Amino acid sequence: MKSSISGFYKHTVEERQSIIKKLADLTDAEQNILKNFGYFNPDELDAYTENVIGSFQLPFSLATNFLINENEYLIPMVTEEPSIVAAASNAARFARKYGGFRCEPVKSIMIGQIQIVKIEEEQIIEISQFINFEKKKLLDLANSCDEKLISLGGGARDIIVRQIKTIKGPMVILHVLIDVLDAMGANAVNTMVEALANYLEDKIPGMIMLKIISNLSIHRMAKCSAIFDTEMLGGPEIVSNIMNAYAFAQADPFRATTHNKGIMNGISALALATGNDTRALEAGAHAFASYNSKTGSYSSLSKYWVDHQGRLCGELELPMPIATIGNIIQNHPMTRIAFKILQVSKAEELAQIAVAVGLAQNIAALRALASEGIQKGHMKLHNKKLGNKS
């Protein structure tokens, strides 16, 4: 089959379907599946992205039992993987006895980066002095790009000057800190850093290159903790085994990757259900697992310890650029239902829910791994989905 199809995007969705039917030799039944757009019409879907030929459905589920900052939540999740929703619902029960998940306030500050290259070591101070001297003017200029954000109380807050050593010599990296409120913020941030770069171009030494958001959003952190019921976990021996599992993830990047994948099972499922950017969340989480590591390499995002009463305590902290406003978030019929079920309108509250879901997902997997093994629960549900009762 040829893949070089110039102007594929210029066709209507129906025309693209006819082209692909011929190219991939689709049957009439397969063509009919492509023509089923569910609650969308083809033009709506075509407006979201490019070269659309159909609609792709996944299960929309609810995890139960979540008590977060004393509020009850049903958690919408979109995932294809059996046992994720059951595991989250199961683990949310373990935390209820001691008040559920407690989450800290979350600021919505994103970082926009401006890269300055072709500089000598001695020019770094010159750039730094210029930025500090002109900071108010620069922040005002950035803020003039987004009157709506400013009117709602957000906007550029600070500019930090960093130096890095690279294979192409020293570089200065400006970090523009921007409060994006309830948005994910990529558009606001990218617009502001491009405007600042234009202004700075002939005023500082060197050459300005990239101007782009950073997904390692260390100023938009979500943090939660919980105490888990020992009996529900399976007793003190299981608690001790869970601590061994945690120590393994903390010390070994091979294990930490899977441990953190388990955390993101829940967070990405919630992010998809609410129309959020799962790639930004995943990238930020995994980068933070290295950036924040006390061991010097990629490590566990969560922490566990046993308190003086022998109870297992857990904590999770990670960047959380999750939003409650944005095109898909506000306009997709399923995300609108997700937000109605969640009863959430502020990004801060959604970030707190997301980090709690991540911790629940993690303790569910650790409990299973430290007791009967993952396959029993996972395969029970996997087989059930396949209609196989054996």
- 307 tagged catalytic: no
Neighbours of 314 (CB within 10 A): 24
- 81 tagged catalytic: yes
SS3 readout for 320-361: CCCCCECHHHHHCHHHHHHHHHHCCCCHHHHHHHHHHHHHHH
What angle in degrees, to the nearest 10, is found between the helix axes of 333-342 and 253-273?
100
Pick the catalytic residue from 81, 194, 229, 315.
Answer: 81
Q: How far apart are CA 267 and CA 289, in angstroms?
A: 15
- 219 tagged catalytic: no
CB 79 within 8 A of CB 58: yes
For ligand HMG, give the closer residue by CB, 40 or 248. Answer: 248
In the complex, least distance from residue 363 CB atom to ligand HMG, rounded to whole angstroms: 9
In the complex, least distance from residue 99 CB atom to ligand HMG, rounded to whole angstroms: 18
- 121 tagged catalytic: no
Pick the catalytic residue from 135, 261, 303, 382.
Answer: 261
Q: Which residues bind ligand HMG (CB under 6 A)?
A: 64-65, 81, 83-87, 89-90, 258-259, 261-262, 265, 364-365, 368-369, 374, 377-378, 381
Neighbours of 346 (CB within 10 A): 14
Q: Which residues contact 18 (CB under 8 A, 6 or more apart)?
A: none
In the complex, least distance from residue 84 CB atom to ligand HMG, rounded to whole angstroms: 5
Count helices and strands in the chain by DSSP H and E runs = 16, 10
In the complex, least distance from residue 386 CB atom to ligand HMG, rounded to whole angstroms: 13
Supply 79's token pair.
């995932």
Map residue 130 onto helix, strand or coil.
helix
- Burial class of residue 67 in the structure, from the number of CB atoms within 10 Å of its CB (0-12 exposed, 13-18 middle, 19+ buried): buried
For ligand HMG, give the closer residue by CB, 74 or 328. Answer: 74
For ligand HMG, give the closer residue by CB, 89 or 274. Answer: 89
Provide the terminal-to-terminal Cα distance of the chain, rounded to the nearest Å: 41
For ligand HMG, give the closer residue by CB, 96 or 261. Answer: 261
Q: How far does Cα 216 stand from its chain's mean position? A: 10
Pick the catalytic residue from 146, 179, 182, 277.
Answer: 277
Q: How far apart are CA 167 and CA 146, in angstroms?
A: 36
In the complex, least distance from residue 68 CB atom to ligand HMG, rounded to whole angstroms: 16
CB 68 within 8 A of CB 191: no
Pick the catalytic residue from 223, 259, 286, 378.
Answer: 378
User: How does strand 207-214 pair with strand 71-78?
Assistant: unpaired
In the complex, least distance from residue 70 CB atom to ligand HMG, rounded to whole angstroms: 20
Position with the least CB separation from ligand HMG: 377
In the complex, least distance from residue 280 CB atom to ligand HMG, rounded to whole angstroms: 21
Q: How far apart are CA 166 and CA 307, in angstroms?
A: 45
Supply 373's token pair.
């093994």
Which residues are known catalytic residues? 81, 261, 277, 378
